[in-house]
Structure 1
Amino acid sequence: MTSSNDLSALAADAYVYGYPLVFDLSMVGAFMTKGFGGLPPAPFNEFAHGDQLADPSTHFVSVNNDTVYTVAQVDLSGGPVRLRTPDTAGAYYVLQFVDAWSNNFAYVGKRATGTEAGEWLIVPPGWTGTPPAGARGVIEAPTSVVSVVGRNVCDGPDDMTRVRNLQKGFTLDPLHPGSPGVAGLPAPDPGVPEELLFFERLRVWMAEFPPAGPDQDHQERFRPLGLLEEGPSPYVNAAPALVRALTAGLAEGKARVEAATKEPADAERPSGSWEMNPHLFDYNLDHFGIGTIDSPQWRIADREASYLVRATAARTGLWGNHGYEAVYAYTFTDADGEQLNGARSYTLRFEEPPPVESFWSVTMYDTPDYYLVDNPAGRYSLGDRTPGLVYGEDGSLTVVIQRERPDDPAEAANWLPAPAGDFRPVIRLYTPGRSALDGTYRLPPIVARG
């Protein structure tokens, strides 16, 4: 017989294991009804396109100011779907394919497949048909519902006309017109009390979107919680002891995930170092489709350890890319270990540019919301695509970070406006070079002036 303490511990494990599935599909549902991050809502198998670069009115955590989003939620329950992509004439773009468990399982775009126009076939699990002539490849989805998260590089408001024209070339169509309609997301039992809804969603969605075989073996241990029961929900009139165990486990699981999002201080790391984890999305261990890299370097060796990493990634950066597509670094402090604040002026000096095959940028965010910062210059990020930057004779670049526009014209050209209070900048490296991934190249610290 399983004790209440054992059930609570098991429920905490189930939360960590299932949080990415529940959060991912909750966001899928929200996207189709409300949209988010400046994107309008769209039904299954239709792209929603951003119509401008993000600005301070885009209230989305750490939204990027480099690319414009093109996103679709794809339901393959009615059969395969054709994806068409336009010729971007060498311009960076990526379509990232994410299954219901938040695994990145395929990429189409400049790094992965080039920038010429193409047609691709997205197929449901177990599909054995023949792709149409002319298809460049088959994208095998691990679950019948997947997210396609697209990013098109945009070099500022004047570049939006080009981006909008490209967006028209991203289309989704059923392989067989007239095929049955999509099943969508199964709904949880409306009779389940609010405090048990997480586990009800997990039960229903886990059955509808089963994970890879080894994960199915792992989730068998959650049977005593009712998570593998079919038919009517076991949580409508659950026994008080089970309710207590589930609610306690939910709280413990949440605490475990939140703690994992906060990296412990590293005594050997110099003050002002940038935090960067190129392996945050390495928890996909089973599905390596077009554009992915199937190698031990990009897989977490311990499957059970990968569940907490997966939950942490979903909590802090749902639908983020593998490190070989893009990496992000952030800092809260200057070279002296002091909190960055708009009351002071700073410099960020790149002796050499960050190693990238595509492009890099540094973007300013306030705290604690991590929103873009409103400023008179209308500049929210700065990088190697920013026109008019002034470089040193040795090729170095010194970014000036402060609240007010610098008086010196050269400094004003390299100015990244800061808010009045605390802030946290983020550096993004698109298609990072090897030295950025292995730590050979280190981002320079931000230095306070005066």
Structure 2
Amino acid sequence: MTSRTSPSSTDSLADLAADAYVYGYPLVFDVSMISASLYQGFGALPPTPFNRFGHATELATPDTHFVSVNNDTVYSIAQVDLSGGPVLLHVPDTSGAYYVLQFVDAWSNNFAYVGKRPTGTEEGDWLVVPPGWAGSAPERVRGVIEAPTAVISVIGRNACDGPDDLPRVQALQQRFTLAPLDTAPHRTGLPTPDPDVPEQLRFYEQLRVWMADFPPARPDQDYQERFQPLGLLEEGLSPYVNPDPALAEALTEGLAAGKARVEAASKPPADGNRPPGSWETNPHLFDYNLDHLGTGTIDSPRWKIADRQASYLVRAAAARTGLWGNHGYEAVYAYTFTDTEGGQLNGSRSYTLRFEQPPPVESFWSVTMYDTPDYYLVANPADRYSLGDRTPGLVYGEDGSLTVLIQRERPDDPAEAANWLPAPSGDFRPMIRLYTPGQSVLDGTYQLPPIVAKG
């Protein structure tokens, strides 16, 4: 990254604008998804105002237009506004069933967890408080969760073993509640970027407005000072309604360069030592939160990216490919674009994925199909979007192995059809999820099997 703070040419301004895009993309994408949750909803989640849970009534489908959405759990998502003070969170007793509430600030940092792994499955109350709060918590609460920003997202996932298990999950969902601790007014909307800003500069206007309303940790604020020449620290009237032509040109160039950098970082790194078809597994993809690690997190150097500036690109890539993904100790995500021959995975071919033994997890595992480049679930006549250890009817080998068949057409053989993961007609990228992974996953000694092309 460039360290120029007073650029004097379009080129240097464009370099700075690219840095700003990488730095600010997670905030803009995250707050945009908060807005969608409030006003449009997405997939099975209805539009839901602040400080209420919106519940999906079914597992995710291809209509759920969210990057790398899972098909293992039923979502309950709340956008929480703390501008009027603390909010009381109530969680029910899930009788040992897996669930997790993941707390994410406006910059996409995971800063707390409540659920089976971190806090158990018994009933209880938690107090969620705004930045800098210094009040007294009610005696009945199990703990206080301090939010880094005044607006946060609570991403709830309840494990669901398929359509027959939905009634149990739906009954639990109604018992996850949020309630303001006092009667102080809370906001009803988000800060609004100037609508007169040209579309090609809209990203920077969103970044300018939302950076001011949701300031990051102090070290990141110091880094933001570099962006003064771009107008990103201007208050009041937008500098992008009638910008200087040189600034507009630099911002446009920087936007394209920043996007290219994020896209490149979202692909597996070139590594000639890795066998073709290897799964990209990075338990540390979400380790970019360096400053606010609360309830249920592991505040250890092992789970923090040492280089703060390097963490900005990691954070952007994580938002691009898996916004609201968990830390590795809660769930590990693995993906691949290629088979053992090094060829791009494509629906014109058939493939197998053979597990000699089940992956080492404490909860459960799955493999889910996504298209490219959007990473959405793939529509198919079987309405099967994922497959895993909880999928009914899977056919295992006598030695305990499981061979998954990946192809576009439904197999004729009943055993193959039972283990079939439908693929799209074009390129695709499957993802394996390992919930509460074992130590061998986290330290890299366990290796996922590659996908093999048939014929």
TM-score normalized by structure 1? Answer: 0.94
State the Cα distance separating 1:186 from its structure 2 match.
Answer: 1.6
**In the alignment, which residue of structure 1 is the partner of 2:83?**
77
State the Cα distance separating 1:449 from its structure 2 match.
Answer: 3.4
**In the alignment, which residue of structure 1 is the partner of 2:59?**
53
Change (3 A) 1:165 1:295: same
Q: Does 1:398 align with 2:403?
A: yes
Which string of whole-angstrom CA distances, capped at 9 and with x for unpartnered residues, describes residues 352-380 of structure 1? 11111110011233445544344444432
State the Cα distance separating 1:97 from its structure 2 match.
Answer: 0.6
Q: Does 1:185 align with 2:170?
A: no
**In the alignment, which residue of structure 1 is the partner of 2:211?**
206
Q: Does 1:242 align with 2:247?
A: yes
**In the alignment, which residue of structure 2 is the partner of 1:362?**
367
| Corresponding letter in the other structure for 1:126 | G
**In the alignment, which residue of structure 2 is the partner of 1:127?**
133
Select the residue among 301, 318, 321 that pairs with 1:296: 301
Worse overlay, 370-379 or 274-283: 370-379
Change (3 A) 1:301 1:393: same
**In the alignment, which residue of structure 2 is the partner of 1:105?**
111
**In the alignment, which residue of structure 2 is the partner of 1:19?**
25
**In the alignment, which residue of structure 1 is the partner of 2:289?**
284
Q: Distance in 1 between matches of 2:380 and 2:208?
A: 47
Select the residue among 328, 333, 341 that pairs with 2:338: 333
Change (3 A) 1:223 1:344: closer
State the Cα distance separating 1:115 from its structure 2 match.
Answer: 0.9
Q: Distance in 2 between matches of 1:206 and 1:376?
A: 44
Kindly indicate whether the alpha-carbon contact (under 8 Å) linking 1:78 and 1:183 is maintained by their aligned counterparts in 2.
Answer: no
State the Cα distance separating 1:268 from its structure 2 match.
Answer: 1.1
Which string of whole-angstrom CA distances, capped at 9 and with x for unpartnered residues, describes residues 289-321 of structure 1? 101111111101001111111111112211111
| Corresponding letter in the other structure for 2:98 | Y
State the Cα distance separating 1:235 from its structure 2 match.
Answer: 2.8
Which string of whole-angstrom CA distances, capped at 9 and with x for unpartnered residues, describes residues 264-293 of structure 1? 321111122112222111110000010111
Kindly indicate whether the alpha-carbon contact (under 8 Å) linking 2:50 and 2:79 is maintained by their aligned counterparts in 1.
Answer: yes
Kindly indicate whether the alpha-carbon contact (under 8 Å) linking 2:268 and 2:280 is maintained by their aligned counterparts in 1.
Answer: no
Which string of whole-angstrom CA distances, capped at 9 and with x for unpartnered residues, describes residues 242-275 of structure 1? 3233223222222222222223321111122112
| Corresponding letter in the other structure for 1:265 | A
**In the alignment, which residue of structure 1 is the partner of 2:3?**
none
Q: Distance in 2 between matches of 1:303 and 1:385?
A: 39
What is the aligned-residue RMSD (CA, Å)?
2.0
Change (3 A) 1:369 1:143: closer
Change (3 A) 1:349 1:182: same
| Corresponding letter in the other structure for 2:453 | A
**In the alignment, which residue of structure 2 is the partner of 1:29?**
35
**In the alignment, which residue of structure 2 is the partner of 1:232?**
237
State the Cα distance separating 1:123 from its structure 2 match.
Answer: 0.3
Worse overlay, 85-94 or 385-394: 385-394
Equivalent residues, number? 449
State the Cα distance separating 1:13 from its structure 2 match.
Answer: 1.6
Which string of whole-angstrom CA distances, capped at 9 and with x for unpartnered residues, describes residues 129-182 of structure 1? 111121011110000000111111110001100010010011110001x22232
Select the residue among 393, 416, 440 that pairs with 1:388: 393
Q: Distance in 2 between matches of 1:297 and 1:431?
A: 17
State the Cα distance separating 1:414 from its structure 2 match.
Answer: 2.7
TM-score normalized by structure 2? Answer: 0.93
Q: Distance in 2 between matches of 1:59 and 1:395?
A: 36
Q: Secondary structure of the residue that 1:306 maps to in structure 2?
A: helix
Kindly indicate whether the alpha-carbon contact (under 8 Å) linking 2:73 and 2:157 is maintained by their aligned counterparts in 1.
Answer: yes
Select the residue among 130, 143, 150 that pairs with 2:149: 143
Q: Secondary structure of the residue that 1:190 maps to in structure 2?
A: coil
Kindly indicate whether the alpha-carbon contact (under 8 Å) linking 1:77 and 1:183 is maintained by their aligned counterparts in 2.
Answer: no
Q: Secondary structure of the residue that 2:220 maps to in structure 1?
A: helix
Q: Secondary structure of the residue that 1:349 maps to in structure 2?
A: strand
Q: Distance in 1 between matches of 2:433 and 2:46?
A: 25
**In the alignment, which residue of structure 2 is the partner of 1:194?**
199
**In the alignment, which residue of structure 1 is the partner of 2:8?**
3
Q: Distance in 2 between matches of 1:368 and 1:225?
A: 30
Q: Secondary structure of the residue that 1:173 maps to in structure 2?
A: strand
Worse overlay, 234-243 or 120-129: 234-243
Change (3 A) 1:339 1:258: closer
Kindly indicate whether the alpha-carbon contact (under 8 Å) linking 2:293 and 2:299 is maintained by their aligned counterparts in 1.
Answer: yes
State the Cα distance separating 1:200 from its structure 2 match.
Answer: 2.2
Which string of whole-angstrom CA distances, capped at 9 and with x for unpartnered residues, describes residues 419-441 of structure 1? 45543322111111111122100
**1:212-223 to 2 correspondences below 5 Å:** 212-223=217-228
**In the alignment, which residue of structure 1 is the partner of 2:326?**
321
Structure 1 unaligned regions, length at least 5: none
Change (3 A) 1:169 1:244: same
Q: Distance in 2 between matches of 1:342 and 1:202?
A: 38
Q: Secondary structure of the residue that 2:236 maps to in structure 1?
A: coil
**In the alignment, which residue of structure 1 is the partner of 2:167?**
161
Change (3 A) 1:243 1:348: closer
Q: Distance in 2 between matches of 1:13 and 1:405?
A: 46
**In the alignment, which residue of structure 2 is the partner of 1:260?**
265
Change (3 A) 1:199 1:377: closer
Q: Distance in 1 between matches of 2:351 and 2:244?
A: 59
Change (3 A) 1:370 1:15: closer
State the Cα distance separating 1:339 from its structure 2 match.
Answer: 3.4
Change (3 A) 1:183 1:214: farther
Change (3 A) 1:347 1:250: closer
Change (3 A) 1:402 1:188: closer
Identity of aligned residues (%): 78
